[in-house]
Each structure stands twice: as structure tokens, then as C-alpha cells.
Amino acid sequence: MTQRFAFLIVLFCHLTFINLLFAQRDLKVIPPADPELERKTFILPEGFEVNLFAADPQIAKPIQMNFDPQGRLWIASSETYPQVEPGEKANDKILYLHDTDGDGVSDKTQIFADGLLIPTAVAPGNGGVYVGASTELLHFKDTDGDGKADQKKIIFSGFGTEDTHHIIHTLRYGPDSHLYFNQSIYIHSHIETPWGIRRLNAGGMWRFRPETLELSVFARGLVNQWGTDFNDYGQTFGTDGAGGEGINYMVPGAYYLTAYGAQRILHGLNPGSPKHCGLEIVESQHLPDDWQGSLITNDFRGHRVCRFVISEDESGYRSQEQQEVIKSDHVAFRPIDVKQGPDGAIYIADWYNPIIQHGEVDFRDDRRDHTHGRIWRVTYTGKPTLKSQDISKLSTEKLLQLVGSDDKYSRTQAKVVLKERGADVLPAVEKWLSNQTGEDSYEKNALEALWIYQSFGKTEPAILSNCLSSSDHRVRAAATRLIGQLINEIDEPIELLKQRIVDNHPQVRLEAVRALAELKIPEAVVVALQALDFEVDGNIDYALWLTCRDLEPY
């Protein structure tokens, strides 16, 4: 794609955006804030239905949400957004919802922390909950069991606050059990860590290992990245709340649309697609077979929740939009986050506001809604929902069974619990893997075991070797990325990468090219350029260019 074509896409999206702004400025009729009236406007695919999981006054203005191993839905809520009034005391909240009787409706709401100023990220973990709030990444903990946080710890400070809808947001666990989160174009962050100062000017994605406080930049340059998720094999995808290229394939270390100082960039997979917010790759026995692996995201301006299907294309992917999960003509329906729940259903956070812009419409405009908000639950009538369980109470052996399951929620939460139990679980992981039968199940589970070791900053040479020699190129690619991430923990990594740079699949070669950038030795360039002996697509060409520049000082 040429730079001129990219400019035309951005211009088209900008002009469309301007039209929407004028539509909001001229808005005269504010609909009644009745959830049932809103629900009746929803159009869903055949065989799907939607119910109200939770709503105001129990919750207000949900910004981000994440489930925990107990099946509770945690929410970052801000009635203050877009800006606190002078003299006003902010009282934004972190709370959780729980459907204790399994009827698909929340029957418990607990305020966990309050007195916050515009929290925009929430993720349970480490016996409490991580929260992104303004300049800080925080951790709250309830030490006396009363359901309310009584301990607050500042993990990092120094994140920028130039724009309240660009501050750090969308915490998400990766397959390696590290936390990933984003900041957007107007933010400039300078973070002091035990490993040195980490800087990110403008938009990008952070990668954080909580137990060691290691912080790094995974990718740079989407305008307002407000969605991140990983497929079964660790490939990374993002959505942009202010861009116009749909689903973005996120290559480690790559630069995107607005990356500061970038001479070359990668583009999204859906040129001309509108701004999207939130991202969830669904995988649930409750959903139809052709929905497995679908990317669900929100067109918050267009009052709809979208579904994309991706397919491999050389070293990257193609993306094709499908029929919407939900669409509506209700002017206050503003879906901004989406998650797959413990029951296999799709949960949608509805900001509920006829006015969404932070600056183009006055901060104090009376039409702004500061009190309402909903969580919608979408289910498929053709299959039963799944039975929820408290994953945190399962034995290590049962947790490992979930790691090998086909349910994304269970697999993710089981790995979170395993990590919190400490490295003493690793002998059980090794035993579990040795009992796997069948080539396909062994290779995928070997990759999961490798990620569990990685969550503790470790690698197991025998498992790594098995993954690197897997018959499945997706497993080989994931293991190759891990080499780059654990470059200092692996013996003779360059010898392993020499084999991967001549792999017969371009996705593996792409990961090898980027992993070589972590070696910081001249020989790494020589090895990387061997990828030119094979057919080179756009992603690999870009990765070679970027790796050569990363290694230029060496």
C-alpha cells in the first residue's frame, strides 16, 4: 500500500468523522434512558439473542472490563470523564459484578475502589486488581476480606495525561501471562523502572512483567489503539479507535500509522474500515462452529458490534468483515469493550451516551450523560451456555486440563492462577505434558507449557526444541517469538534462529527476523538477511528493514 493511498484512507475517515461531529452538535432529541427501549432496537444474526446483564444505577459509564478466575466481571467506571471540574473531587470507581445463580443477569455489585480520577484500565491479578489511572499503573488489594480494597500500590508513574481518552488503557493478559496495555497518540510517557527508564512518545503498546517490573514497548504508532488480543498461537492483533484500517496485525517492534519518526510503517488489514474500540477473539463451545476464532470489536460511532474473520496470507493475515453481532439506530448505544464470559457468551460494555467526543463538543455540554451505562450479554440459542466455575479453587492438575481445553476464557484464567501459585507448579506441568497423546494435542499443549515456563521467566530446552521442530508452523512461529523475548535465558539463541530463518513457512521466518533484532550483535544482521533467499512478502520486507535499523548501532 502506498503512502498516498494511506493518506486518502485517513482523509476519508477524517471527513466522515467531521460529519459525525456536526451530527452530534445538532442533536436535539435525547432518547429516554430505558434499557428495554434500547434493547428493542438491537438487530442480531439469526439464532442469537441479547439480554441486559447489568445497568445503572449499579454501574455507570463502564470504560474497560475483564473477567477473573472466579467468574466476576471487573469494570473501570468513570462519571468524571472527559475532565474533572475545578474544585470537584473525583470519585470514579473500580467495581465487580457477579452472576451467582447462573441466570445470565448480575445479582451482585461490589465497589472495590473509589476516589479515582478517570480509571481507564482494569485487570484482576496478583491477589487484587491492576488499574490504569491517569499517570499511574496501580495495584489494589483487599487484605481483610471485606470486598473492598484496603491496600494501594503504585507500580509505575510517569505516564502522560495530555488527553484523557488517550491515557493508558485496555489491560490484557497475553499467552505468556504478561500484561499488555496501550497508550495513544497525544501521550508522552517516561517511566523509571528497576531496569532503566522506558519511554514511549505517542501511541503504542506496552508489555509488562509484574513480578520483575520489566516494562518494554511491543509496538508503536496506532492513533488510538483501544483493543488488543492474541490468537491461540500468540499472534497479536489490535484495533484503533481513531484510525481507519480495521483489524491490525501487530508485528513485534513494528511501527504503524502515526508512529513518531518512522520512515516506514505497517498498515491495517481492512483499509477504509471505521474506527474500532475493544477486541476479543472468541473461542467457546457455546458459539457456532463458524464463529470460532472470530475477532469481535465495536464501531462505537456506528452503534454496532462487528465481527471479522481472519485467514493466513503468507507471513500475515487477511481480514473479512461479517454480519454484525449487534447493530442499532439508538443514538446513545456506544459499545466500547467486549469480552467472552465464563458461560461462553459475549459481553458488551455500553458507554451509553449520545455525545462521545471529548473536545469537539463542549466538556460541560448538558447533553453529555455522566450516570448511565450497561453491560449487554449476547448468547446463541442453538447451543447451551457453559457452566461457570471458580477456577481459582481447582487443583493444579485440573487447571492444566483447562489449559488444554478449547475454551479461551478457561485457558486464560487457568494460566493466571497457575502463575500466581508460583514456579512450584512446573513439575506438574512437565508431567501433564508427558501424558499428552496424539501429535496435534501434544504440539499445541507443548506450546502452552512453554508459555507457562515463560510466565516465570524460564524456558525448558526440551519443550522449546519440540516446539521449534513442530509440524505446525504456527507452533514454530510462536516458539521463535519466545526466543526473542527470552534471549538472555536461552543457550546459543543465534544457532536456533539460524534454523528458523530458513524455515519453509514465511510466518516463522518473519518471527525469526524480528527475534534476531534482540541479539544486538553484527552477526544477527547476516543471519536475518538469509531470509532474502526465499520469497519475500511485504511483512518480511518490512521486518528486515526494521531489524537492520534496530541493529545499526551494533
- pLDDT tens-place string over residues 415-455: 999 999 999 999 999 999 999 877 678 999 999 999 999 99
Task: With both helix axes pointing from N to C terminus, report the angle between 461-468 and 493-500 in degrees, rounded to the nearest 10.
Answer: 10
Look at residue 149 in the predicted model and tell me its pLDDT: 97
d(CA 354, CA 203): 27
Report whether 326 contacts 43 (CB < 8 A). yes
Look at residue 121 in the predicted model and tell me its pLDDT: 97
DSSP, residue by residue, 181-220: EEE-TT-EEEEEETTEEEEEESSEEEEEETTTTEEEEEEE
Report whether 177 contacts 420 (CB < 8 A). no
Report the share of the chain in percent with pLDDT over 90.
Answer: 83
Q: How confident is the model at residue 178 (pLDDT cuts 50, 70, 90)?
A: very high
Is pLDDT above 90 for 532?
yes
Query: The domain 3-380 belongs to what CATH superfamily?
Result: TolB, C-terminal domain (2.120.10.30)
Q: How confident is the model at residue 193 (pLDDT cuts 50, 70, 90)?
A: very high
d(CA 356, CA 368): 8
Look at residue 24 in the predicted model and tell me its pLDDT: 66
Least confident piece of the model among 172-186, 218-232, 234-248, 349-363: 349-363
Is pLDDT above 50 for 469?
yes
Look at residue 4 in the predicted model and tell me its pLDDT: 52
Burial class, 152, CB count within 10 angstroms (exposed 0-12 / middle 13-18 / buried 19+):
middle
Average pLDDT score, the chain: 92
Is pLDDT above 90 for 83?
no
Look at residue 155 in the predicted model and tell me its pLDDT: 97
296, β-bridge pairs: 280, 307
How are the residues of the chain apportioned to helix, strand and coil, as percentages rounded to the nearest 5?
30, 30, 45
Query: Beta-strand (E) ranges in 202-269?
Result: 204-209, 214-220, 225-230, 236-240, 248-250
Look at residue 1 in the predicted model and tell me its pLDDT: 46
Residues with Cβ < 8 Å from 8, sequence gap 6 or more? none
CATH of 472-554, one of 3.30.2010, 3.30.70, 1.25.10, 1.20.58: 1.25.10
334-385 residue pLDDT tens: 999 999 999 999 999 999 998 876 666 766 676 777 789 999 999 999 999 9
246-297 residue pLDDT tens: 999 999 999 999 888 889 999 999 999 989 999 999 999 999 999 999 999 9
Which residue, 375, 309, 297, is CA-closest to 341? 375
Look at residue 165 in the predicted model and tell me its pLDDT: 78
Report whether 42 contacts 49 (CB < 8 A). no
Least confident piece of the model among 9-13, 239-243, 401-405, 513-517: 9-13
Is pLDDT above 90 for 18?
no
Cell 457453559 found at: 386
Look at residue 32 in the predicted model and tell me its pLDDT: 83
94-137 residue pLDDT tens: 999 999 999 999 999 999 999 999 999 999 999 999 999 989 99
Is pLDDT above 50 for 17?
no
Q: How confident is the model at residue 84 (pLDDT cuts 50, 70, 90)?
A: confident
Is pLDDT above 70 for 189?
yes
Domain borders along the chain are 3-380, 472-554
d(CA 46, CA 202): 42
Is pLDDT above 90 for 25?
no
